[in-house]
A and B are shown apart, each in its own frame.
Chain A
Amino acid sequence: NAGVMQNPRHLVRRRGQEARLRCSPMKGHSHVYWYRQLPEEGLKFMVYLQKENIIDESGMPKERFSAEFPKEGPSILRIQQVVRGDSAAYFCASSVDRPPYEQYFGPGTRLTVT
Chain B
Amino acid sequence: AQSVTQLGSHVSVSEGALVLLRCNYSSSVPPYLFWYVQYPNQGLQLLLKYTSAATLVKGINGFEAEFKKSETSFHLTKPSAHMSDAAEYFCAVSSNTGNQFYFGTGTSLTVIP
Q: In the complex, how many angstroms separate the beta carbon of A113 from the nearest chain B beta carbon? A: 18
Q: Are B46 and A102 in contact (CB under 8 A)?
A: yes
Partner of A43, one of B90, B94, B98: B90
Distance between Cα atoms of A33 and B36 in the complex (Å): 16
Chain A residue with Cβ nearest B94: A101
Q: Are A105 and B44 in contact (CB under 8 A)?
A: yes
Asked if B77 lies at the interface with its beta carbon under 8 angstroms from chain A, I say: no
Binds B, one of A11-19, A69-77, A80-88, A91-99: A91-99
Q: Are A102 and B44 in contact (CB under 8 A)?
A: no
Chain A CB within 10 A, most for which of B99, B102, B104: B99
Distance between Cα atoms of A93 and B90 in the complex (Å): 14
CB within 8 Å of B: which A24-49 residues: 31, 33, 35, 42-43, 45, 48
Q: What per-residue 1/0 map shows which CB atoms of A42-62 lie under 8 Å from chain B? A: 110100100000011000000
Chain B residue with Cβ nearest A103: B101
Q: In the complex, how many angstroms separate the beta carbon of B2 from the nearest chain A beta carbon? A: 13
Interface residues of A (CB under 8 A from B): 4, 31, 33, 35, 42-43, 45, 48, 55-56, 91, 93, 95, 97-108, 110
Cβ contacts A to B, 13 pairs, < 8 Å: A42-B106, A43-B103, A43-B106, A45-B101, A91-B43, A98-B98, A100-B94, A101-B32, A102-B46, A102-B94, A103-B46, A103-B92, A105-B45
Q: A42-B104, A56-B99, A105-B45 are in contact. List 14 more A-B contacts (CB 8 A).
A: A43-B106, A48-B99, A56-B100, A98-B98, A99-B51, A100-B34, A100-B51, A101-B32, A101-B98, A102-B34, A103-B101, A104-B46, A105-B44, A108-B42
